């Protein structure tokens, strides 16, 4: 069945308050029927929704199943169904060489992976009521090649990618498309604290335009900028010994972990 035009869709976006999520909110502001935006920062959500009657701020922490279920209940009451879920909320913490902190790994996994699962769980009953719904989850290009200090972040995003690809197979018969979004480096509050070179860095508004274009095309694999992501994927196809040499060459010692969540 043919999907509804974007202008007729009810969309729910998590992680809407900063970075790519904020840019997506602004880009979708006049492009969809109704846009529900979620994040922990209620004040920022209210600012993004100011003067936009079809943008509905719904504060929620993606690590809380109950808070997301509350948002889903509101969408059901007001719209009866959901046409697209975009799970964008995420965090990044880097690992000190040789000193993994289990609590930090849990924080990253709870937000990036379980946050995605919690949102899908809350939204899926409403998505099944749409004529042809879509789930789009933000993963990362880092999943193509193991990166030093990215043990927690990379593992969480690899889990997101695998899970979404599995959902794509299982939900196809329900008329629900699934898209994996794998950005390279995008200028956001998360990347502003990075203390290493970020090749092919792009602005958040460019990332949002690329994502929306891919969603309108119902692409299962949205990755950008392609000069970077394709090169990274090619490196990921090299024999293990060569991949290890590349990762080892990027490794460095005595780095301090950085953290910023959205």
What residues are annotated to the active site?
Answer: 153
Contacts of residue 50, defined as CB under 8 A and 6 or more positions apart, other chains included, come to none
Quick check: 158 and 175 in contact, CB under 8 A?
Answer: no
Contact 186, 202 (CB under 8 A): yes
- Torsion from C-alpha of 99, 103, 106, 108, nearest 10 degrees: -70
């Amino acid at each position: 069945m043919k999907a509804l035009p974007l202008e007729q869709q009810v969309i729910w976006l998590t992680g809407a308050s900063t970075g790519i999520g904020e840019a997506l909110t602004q880009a979708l502001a006049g492009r969809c029927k109704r846009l529900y935006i979620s994040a922990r920062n209620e004040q920022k959500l209210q600012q993004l929704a100011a003067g936009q009657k079809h943008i509905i701020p719904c504060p929620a922490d993606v690590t809380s199943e109950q808070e997301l279920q509350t948002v889903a209940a509101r969408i059901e009451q007001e719209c009866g169904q959901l046409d697209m879920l975009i799970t964008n909320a995420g965090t990044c913490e880097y690992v000190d060489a040789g000193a993994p902190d289990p609590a930090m790994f849990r924080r990253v996994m709870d937000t990036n992976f379980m946050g995605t699962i919690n949102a899908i769980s809350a939204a899926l009953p409403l998505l099944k009521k749409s004529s042809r719904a879509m789930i789009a989850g933000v993963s990362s290009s880092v999943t193509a090649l193991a990166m030093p200090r990215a043990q927690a972040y990379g593992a969480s995003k690899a889990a997101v990618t695998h899970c979404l690809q599995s959902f794509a197979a299982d939900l196809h018969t329900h008329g629900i498309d699934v898209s994996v979004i794998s950005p390279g480096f995008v200028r956001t509050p998360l990347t502003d604290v990075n203390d290493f070179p970020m090749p092919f860095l792009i602005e958040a508004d460019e990332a949002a335009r690329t994502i929306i274009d891919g969603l309108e095309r119902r692409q299962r694999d949205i990755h950008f900028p392609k000069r970077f992501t394709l090169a990274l994927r090619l490196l990921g196809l090299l024999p293990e010994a060569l991949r290890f040499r590349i990762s080892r060459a990027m490794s460095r010692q005595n780095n301090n972990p950085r953290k910023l969540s959205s």
